[in-house]
Amino acid sequence: MNNRFIVKPELCTGCRSCELACSFTHAVDGVRSLTRITPIDGGFKDLWVPVTCLQCDDAACIKSCLVNALKRNPVTGAVELNHEVCVNCMACVAACPFGCAVLDTQTNLIVKCDLCGGDPACAHFCPTKALEWKPIPKAVKKTG
């Protein structure tokens, strides 16, 4: 997987377009889903940061799942959740240090970012390019 989320907080206006995109993309039977991305108020005036799942290499959610409902998609690199297997134990919700796996109380399903199958909708919808989905800059690649 070559692409990564490139986030530039200084460009984020907290407009929540990414949330809308996420929610509609993952709608179930026409019902908007809980979003997997949220711009959070960085604490300073007008500094917002869109936060979503980092698809960590050593993912705590995968490790916490005792029934193997969470697996990494070898193509997209996303950690994907199989709702048929999930037993709703909330381990992953508790284990994720960023709070990126959550229980959608409307559907009673755990939701987390799946990178929309490899082409995240949120990045397309960001009007200010604060959030982009593109190849990792070389300098970053070396260290990270």
Closer to another protein by CB, 6 or 62: give it. Answer: 62
Burial class (CB in 10 A: 0-12, 13-18, 19+), 86: middle
Binding mask 50-89 for ligand SF4 (x = CB under 6 A): --------------xx-x-xx----------x----xxxx
The rounded distance, in Å, linking the Cα atoms of 111 and 46 is 28
Least Å from the CB of residue 86 to ligand SF4: 3
DSSP state of 108: T
Q: Which residues of 109-143 are buried (b: 16+ CB within 10 A; e: fewer)?
A: bbbbbbbbeeebbbbebbeeebbbbeeeeeeeeee
Closer to ligand SF4 by CB, 7 or 91: give it. Answer: 91
Closer to ligand SF4 by CB, 28 or 90: give it. Answer: 90
DSSP state of 123: H
Binding site for another protein (CB under 8 A): 16, 19, 34-38, 40, 51-52, 60, 63-64, 66-67, 69, 82, 84-91, 93-100, 102
Picked from ligand SF4, another protein, none, the partner binding residue 56 (CB below 5 to 8 A depending on kind) is: none
Are residues 102 and 75 in contact, defined by beta-carbon separation less than 8 angstroms? no
- Residues lying near ligand SF4 in the complex (CB under 6 A): 64-65, 67, 69-70, 81, 86-92, 110
